[in-house]
Structure 1
Amino acid sequence: MTDYKLDNIDWKILDILQSDASTSNLELSEKVFLSPSPCSRRVKNLENLGYISRRVTLIDPRKAGLPVTVFVQVTMHHQVKKDLDHFAQRVLEWPQVMECYLMTGDFDYLIRVVTPDLFAYQEFLDQLTQVSGVDHVKSSFSLKPICYKTELPLGHLL
């Protein structure tokens, strides 16, 4: 399986499913011009190979009562493995953290957080600043989303 090379049909399947993960196997097979059984096998193969990591439903955070989006820049006192590992473990515990990236540049981590209000963000911030190794935190509040995508631009592979 490790030497498997994706073909145009595989890439088309990925493109369709990332746009709408609820696409039925029958619909998918018709769109990629395969019968349902081989189409289903291809999807399973793409899952086994790790191209499809999971299928989700995207929920509007405002309608879910989480209208506050904050981008948080975190600077560690030192970038030592022990502190980085501990920080990563803590971040995974917080459900309000939607994304977290180890960065290069002026700060060490960039985190996207959603909360119902500023009070809830303050509670999160209190926890964040107590993590050992955290030196500095800078918060930037989103006023409104301009662009938010979950689909990768696979057009060049089709």
Structure 2
Amino acid sequence: MHHDEMIGKIQALAQLPDRGSTERATLAVLRTLGERLPAGLADHVAAQLPPDLAACLRRMTESAAAAGRDAGSGERFDLIAFTGRIADRAGTTDDAALREAAAVLEVLDAALAPELMDKIAAALPVDIGALLPVGRATGDLDRRASREGKS
């Protein structure tokens, strides 16, 4: 999916007033997602994004490596911290950040390979994973429950 198409879809889904606020929101979500995902997974996501959006994720993995964090795991934080970081970066409220994150994740679900989205869903905690499109989030919860021996 091309950059303009992604931004247009995110703008419509998040009900943002203009492209500038949509760009800010999208970069804030991608940056925060990049902090939460293992570096290798974030790099795979970046490889399937338009160059300017990919650069945002790659900067996060580079700064994580420079900080000495393990490339095999992302930072551990919950939905409250996730939306708080997005709100700070986008200059918006936590409620708006939640809506923007859900919109970006929905567009990513359409833009990325399904196997990659499955890996993202598996890497996120349940509370952040609930922002994924309904089918993906539900499927991930079902997979987690079966791994844990629950039905």
TM-score (norm 1): 0.29
Larger relative contact order (CA 8 Å, sep ≥ 6): 1
More strand by share: 1
